[in-house]
Amino acid sequence: MSVQMRQGLLLFLVTLTLWLGSCTGTPPADEAVDSSPSAPTEEEVTVAPEPTDPTAGLPVLEGLATVELVVNGDTIVLEIDGDDAPVTAGNFVDLVERGVYDGTVFHRVIREPEPFVVQGGDPLSKDPSVPARRFGTGNFVDPETETPRYIPLEIKPAEAERPLYGKTFEAAGISASPALPHTRGAVAMARSDMPNSASAQFYIALGDLAFLDGNYAVFGYVTEGMDVVDGIQQGDTLESATVTDGLDNLQVNP
């Protein structure tokens, strides 16, 4: 298979795994809703409003943190990077500390025709009353506000002082590489086609996926246990997620 054909197929898989069905809700009246057969059918795709201050009211990680995931009795160690992705990293660490990910399911695992991603973290997937066909349509609902928490797309260009918020590199006309690229073991947020729609679902790259750079927010990397990630099968449970270091770097902006 040629390089162009492989890239085209992988881009199609991106649409199925990271785009459609990663976030749901009720969209504003002036937002178009994807009505293609692959889109969620139970609820409609939504988008968070453009933030004036992208960190306002959101958890922010000021520095690094270490998170351990236990899957099939084995441990995966993640280094979470709040230096280059403070909002995305802060959201993840906060959800880990809340226990949101404990008992969730890896609902999409794609290794063919080439290693792609394992995706999980949907809070709906640990509810036994929710059918498996709906896994991948859920968000984190803040118990204080009783509304879903969305975070803005956050990607920092290499050598830049701060991240770009709310736009892909292409939309912003940026040709630089990201500070956190999609190399094997990268941990990033899944979202719908709306840039500011990431909530809780995340994925781990099974190979180098440079064509995702500038489009999805990487916020950390697997530092130990990539062999465990390689062994994850669709339907496997994330038994526990624990912040083992750096929790004191987590702040919540007013």
End-to-end CA distance of the chain: 52
Please state the domain extents for the chain: 3-27+59-252
Structure tokens at 85: 């992705």
Residue 11 has a pLDDT of 52
User: φ and ψ at 76, to 5 degrees?
Assistant: -120, 125
Residue 53 has a pLDDT of 80
Q: What CATH code is assigned to 3-27+59-252?
A: 2.40.100.10
Cis status of the peptide bond prior to 181, with omega within 30 of 0: no
Count of CB atoms situated within 10 Å of the CB of 26: 11
Residues 200, 189: Cα–Cα separation, whole Å: 7
Chain centre distance of CA 76: 17
Per the CB < 8 A criterion, the answer to whether 110 and 10 are in contact is: no
How many residues are given for the chain? Answer: 254
Residues 64, 174: Cα–Cα separation, whole Å: 26
Structure tokens at 18: 């990271």
Is the pTM here over 0.85, yes or no?
A: no
Extended beta strands in 143-214, E state = 147-148, 154-155, 164-165, 186-189, 202-205
Residue 218 has a pLDDT of 98
Paired with 188 in beta bridges are 203, 218
User: φ and ψ at 203, to 5 degrees?
Assistant: -140, 160
Residue 55 has a pLDDT of 78
Residue 118 is given by DSSP the state E
Give per-10-residue mean pLDDT for the chain (254 aa): 49 48 37 29 42 81 98 98 98 98 98 96 96 96 95 96 96 96 98 95 98 98 98 98 98 82
Residues 48, 46: Cα–Cα separation, whole Å: 7
